[in-house]
Copies of this chain bind each other. A is one copy, B any other.
Amino acid sequence: MSTLRILGIDPGLVATGWGAIERTGNSLAFIACGTIRVSRTQPLAQRLSLLLHSLQEVVAHHEPDHLAIEEVFLGKNPKTTLTLGQARAVALLTVGERPYAEYAPRTIKQVVSASGSADKQQIRDMLRRLLPDSPLAGAKNNTLDEQTLDEHASDALAVALCHAFSLKSKDLEQRLRETA
A interface with B by C-beta (< 8 Å): 43-46, 48-49, 52, 72, 74-76, 78-79, 81-90, 92-93, 95-97, 100, 179
Contacts and interface: CB of A to CB of B under 8 A. Distances in A.
18 contacts: A43-B179, A44-B92, A45-B93, A45-B100, A48-B89, A48-B93, A72-B82, A74-B79, A76-B78, A78-B81, A81-B82, A81-B85, A82-B84, A82-B85, A85-B88, A85-B89, A87-B89, A93-B93
A173 to B, nearest CB: 16
Contacts of A85: 81-86, 88-89
Contacts of A92: 44-45, 48-49, 86
A176 to B, nearest CB: 10
Contact of A82 (B48, B88, B96): B88
Dominant SS among interface residues on chain A: helix
Q: Which 3 A-B pairs have the closest CB atoms?
A: A85-B85, A89-B89, A45-B95
A120 to B, nearest CB: 24
Contacts of A93: 45, 48-49, 52, 90, 93
A82 B85 CA distance: 4
A96 B48 CA distance: 10
A79 B93 CA distance: 19
A51 to B, nearest CB: 9
A43 B93 CA distance: 11
Nearest to A75: B78
Given A45-B93, A48-B92, 19 more contacts: A43-B100, A45-B96, A45-B100, A46-B95, A46-B97, A49-B92, A52-B93, A74-B79, A75-B78, A81-B81, A82-B82, A84-B85, A85-B85, A85-B88, A86-B86, A86-B89, A89-B89, A89-B90, A90-B93
